Each structure stands twice: as C-alpha cells, then as structure tokens.
Amino acid sequence: MSTALPAALLAALLGPVSVATAAPAAVAAQQANPYVPDGAVWTQQYFNSGSGTNKAELHADILRPKNLPADAKTPVILSIGPYFSHFGSTGDEGKTQAGPSTRFNDLVVGGKLMERGYTFVMVDLRGFGGSTGCLDWMGPGEQGDVKAALDWAGQQPWSNGQVGMYGKSYDAATGLIGLGSGASSLKAVVSQEPVYDAYRYLYTNGLARPNHLGTPQAYDGISQLPPVGGVNGDDAHYAQNAAYEDSHPECVKNNDTLTQNPDHQSSFWKARNFLTPARGSTVPLFLTQGFIESNTKPEGVQELLQGLKGPVRGWLGQWDHVRGNETDSSGALEMGRAAWFDEVMRFYDKHLKGTAPNVQDPAFAIEGSDGSWRQQTNWPQAGASPTVDLKTGSYSSPLKSLSVAAAQPSAEAAAKFAQPPMSSAKQLPPGVGSNGQDLESLGSAGLNPPAGLSAAEQKTKPSAKTPKAASGGLWTASQPVASATRITGTPSLTVQSSAAAGANIAVELYDLAADGSGVLINSMVSTLNSGAATRVELLSLDWALAKGHSLAVRVGAAKGSLQVQLTSAKLSLSLQSTSQDQATQGDRSPYLDYYISSYTSKLPTIKPSFQLNLKP
C-alpha cells in the first residue's frame, strides 16, 4: 500500500525532519519481496541535505532485523552512492516490484548482519535513485550528503549512534569522504578499491584519460534512471524525486562541462580531493587496494595511509577491480584471501559494538608479485630509499607498448567485460553496463598505458605466446639484483627539461628477466613544466624483482610530437628485502597471471648503469 502524499502536503511536512515511508506492499506481502534478504524488514525514509540552492532531499532504504522491535537500537552500517536506484544499479535490471537495491546483499547475507543485530542503510546521493538535487561528481554537494547521512543515521530512534560505512569503488570513495566529514557518529569505514581524488579518475597530471568524457556521461544516464513502474512499483514520492534530473537539464549540463578541466589545481578539482580533509582522521579504516587495478588505480593510497591517525587495516595485492569476497568463474577468490566477511565483521564488532575479537587479524595482509602473502604492521615498509640517475637526451615520439596494442581479447576477458542489453527507454551511453556492478568498463585500464591505446586495446590479452618488442624512448637499467628486491611504496621521477608549452612525458618501469623479457610494473604520464623541474609521482606498487632480474626504465612522450630535451632525470625508489617476510594465509589472485601475460614485452638490450642496494 502506497503512503505517498500530495506534493503540497509533502513539501510542508518535510522540512528538516526525516519522513518515513513504508514499502509499497503491506508488511505481510513484504516478506515475499525477492529483493529483501531473509530475516530483514525493509522501510524507506527521506531526509534533507544542505540548504538554500544546495538543498536536496535524500532517500534511504533501511534493512532492519525482523526479530527486533522497530525501535530497538542497533549499530548501523551505511553505504551511500549512485548505485542504489530501485530500477537497477546502472541500468534496467528488469524489476516488476519496488524493493531495495541488492548491490550489497552479499554483505547482508555473508556478514549475517540481521542475525548479528545490525541495521543496514543504503542512501542515494543527490540526483540518483529516490533523491533530488543535481549530481555533483564527488563534490561539495555529495560530500555534504555523506555528512548529512551520517548525522541522520546516528540520530534515528533505531540507532545506537554508532555508524560504520561500507562500499566498493564509488561508494568506497564516499567512505573516504566520511573520514574527513567530522561526523561524530562515524566509528569505522570499510573501503574497497576507492577513488582517492576525483580528478585522477578522469585525468593524469594534466592529460585527459580515455574515459574523461564517457564517465560523466555514464553518470548522467544513471541519474536519470526511472522508478520501478506497475502496480507493485515505486510510490509517488519516490517517482517524483527520481524525475528530478529530467526536469532540471542544468544538472547534466554542469556535470558534462565542469568536469572537463585538466587543471588539477583548479578550485573545482581541489574541492574533490578527499585526501586533504581525511588527513588526521582517527576513524578506524579497513582498506583494500589492487596494485595492478584496471579501474580505481593506486594513486593516493600511500598519502592516505600516512595521513591517518586512527587504526588501519588493509588487504593490498595483485588484483583487479573486485570485492574481498568476489570469486571468478571457477570459484577462486579474486583477491586470493579467504574469510573476507569474517574479518570485516570482527572489525565492525570491535568498533561499533565494543566486542573484542577472538582472532588477531594482521594489520596489513599483502599479496606480493609472486602470489605469496605476508603480513605487516604498516605499509609501505622500506629498508632503503635510493635515487638513481636515468638516461637523458631528446625524444618526441609517443611510447608504444606493442604487447598491449597488438593483443586480442581472451574469452575470459570478453566474458568479464561483456555488457548485457538494456530494455528500458532510459538508455545509458554505449558500453555502460546494466549488470548491477559499478562501471568497470569506464576506467582507463591497466596501469597508465601510453596514450593512443583504445579502451579495447587496454583490456586485451596477447594472442601470441612470444612477447612483442617494446621500442622507442630513453632506456636505463639496473644491474641484476643479488637477492630478491621489493620495490614498494610510491616511486617518483624528477626531470629537468627544455620543452615547448604542452610537451609531456611518459615513464614506464619493467621487471626485466635475464632472457630480455620485461613485465610492465608501473607507468605514469604527465605534462612538463617548461624550463623548470617537473616531479611526477608514479602509481603505488609492491613488486619484487627476483634474484638475477633488473629494473628497466623507459622515458618518452605520452602523446603528440613536440621535441623534448631531458637534461636531468632522477628516479626515487623505496626498496624492501623479502628475507624477513612473515607469511599469512592467502592464495595467488587469478588476475596476476592474466596481467603478467598481458603486460610482458621483449625489451631491447640495455647496458646496466646503476645498482639497487638494499642497505640504507
């Protein structure tokens, strides 16, 4: 039964007070709702975020334990993002009955939230699902929504005031926003594969990524998803809010235009860097990050970790854009480590309930480049931090990684990234999935491949067994290492150059074997400061060179044909011995072998010019 109110009365009642709405069906019928997990009762509420022209009404789906009174106070786990529309996460999921998003039913069921006495809340960011307002690409409006949702969740009569956050990808980024929100109710955050800085999802040091136009347009489409129709569909209140973007064309226009600024120092992008407000946070964090991620890359992870003052847990390793509990088609865990929900719930129980864990989990569980797992008290841990001189000279032609550019999709890759057709009139841009997942297909895949590779080329696997040759650029290599040597943390390159305005640079790091084959283990691109030094931070990594292997470095142009003269090039590294590694449980992540086969090239003969010494 719908409880929707006439628009005038609804507006008069809303104000700053949250409004509760029963599910469209009667409570008895709700038990048969296929989108409500067993043991849960679903309700909806609305509350305000912001004020004046920045005001939005946010919609929340609430799952409460069925066996508890409606006003029983419980800890709350909150997820807030763009993917909780009743119609579907990113497109039409074919629903004929209104119900809560199933995006995190794996947590509700796998973590036994209802049995453990937790409330799970999903809040639509402004402009998405049942919320009004203009989508804001992780900007001040959405950041205000996170704060408003945390305050609201901590003050409800069914809340004990202890709120945790949970998410992956976009709704993992809102967890990081929560760290810097100052919300007193926030007591713990679980953030899987987040974005640390919204700029770096669309641009890299002044250069546009292939998705810089497609990603904003994709979220335009998600913001315009309709309500579930039909006799069992969404009520009038939800439907009215869901139509907000349709009647406010400036929302999409602003999202498409304001995001097209490659200047990282602009006020627009400074307001969307989550690292600055999170610095100094004491809120406990549980983070996952794949070092060879194809979507939300490890750009900012070390800066985040070093700036926090509270307890930090982490799973770090060699996987793609996946969840801690996710499995591949054969049933193998994508991250390789078992018991994700056990660890997550021990984390939540400790910080939201005050229950001491009966198992001591490692602070950081890390999968190395050989697939083995170790534990550390923090990350990174470096025993030596050398700065080495690289070859100088001139370049003008863009680098080309032929092993990637010449690749053909494997069956596994094609199946993984295939997108099902959509049946709704509300179509998303081509290539955007409607499979209930976040937008895997829109990140510039792999590390940061040299400019000029299409999205398809970046997500493919070589069809030939023999590595293709990688040529061009200025090459430097180390002497073969005498013992296994881990490159960890965040390398940086500092160059002096003479170049015209608009010139740029690309740098690649390779694990070079004795047979001349090299695995691309890191890469970065950047514009150059004409006539001045340019410092470029590469991706964070954790990759060990086996005994007898070398580090090879290639520098050249990212795009265009402007002549660049390098007069100085210095690479700063953090090194760690593998001899003191302390093992922890975990298997080799399936993506690691796929990655190595995809990013291996035949390198030219390079005369060694420096040593990697593990002694400080």
Burial class (CB in 10 A: 0-12, 13-18, 19+), 315: buried
Residue 447 lies in a domain: no
Give the per-residue pLDDT at 530. 78
- Are the C-beta atoms of residues 93 and 436 closer than 8 Å to each other? yes
- CA 446 – CA 296 distance, rounded (Å): 10
Longest dimension (CA), the chain: 78
CATH number for the domain that contains residue 495: 2.60.120
Q: Mean pLDDT per segment of 10 residues, for the chain of length 616 residues?
A: 34 40 46 91 98 95 97 97 98 96 98 98 98 97 98 98 98 98 98 97 96 96 97 97 96 96 96 97 98 96 98 98 97 98 98 96 98 98 94 86 33 33 30 37 37 36 50 92 98 92 93 97 93 93 98 93 92 97 98 97 96 88
For residues 562 and 581, state if they share a domain: yes
Give the per-residue pLDDT at 502. 85
Token output for 304: 């985040």
Q: How far is CA 538 from CA 297, 326, 378, 499, 573, in A?
A: 11, 28, 20, 21, 10
Token output for 532: 């001045």
Token output for 453: 């590779």
Give the per-residue pLDDT at 427. 33
Residue 411 lies in a domain: no
For residues 358 and 400, state if they share a domain: no
Contacts of 574 (CB under 8 A, 6+ apart): 380, 382, 384, 385, 487, 488, 489, 490, 491
Which domain does 476 fall in, by range? 387-404+463-610
Rounded to the nearest angstrom, the gap between the alpha carbon of residue 38 and the centroid of all alpha carbons in its chain is 29
Rounded to the nearest angstrom, the gap between the alpha carbon of residue 93 and the centroid of all alpha carbons in its chain is 23
**Ranges of H-type helices in 248-339:** 249-258, 267-270, 275-278, 301-307
For residues 352 and 400, state if they share a domain: no
Q: How many domains does the chain have?
A: 2
Give the per-residue pLDDT at 289. 98
For residues 507 and 363, state if they share a domain: no
Give the per-residue pLDDT at 469. 67
Give the per-residue pLDDT at 559. 87
Sheet holding 504-512, edge to edge: 600-602, 517-527, 504-512, 550-556, 474-478, 608-610
Nearest partner of 123 among 142, 110, 136, judged by Cα: 142
46 CB neighbour count, 10 Å cutoff: 22
Give the per-residue pLDDT at 467. 56
For residues 20 and 139, state if they share a domain: yes
CATH number for the domain that contains residue 87: 3.40.50.1820
For residues 312 and 365, state if they share a domain: yes
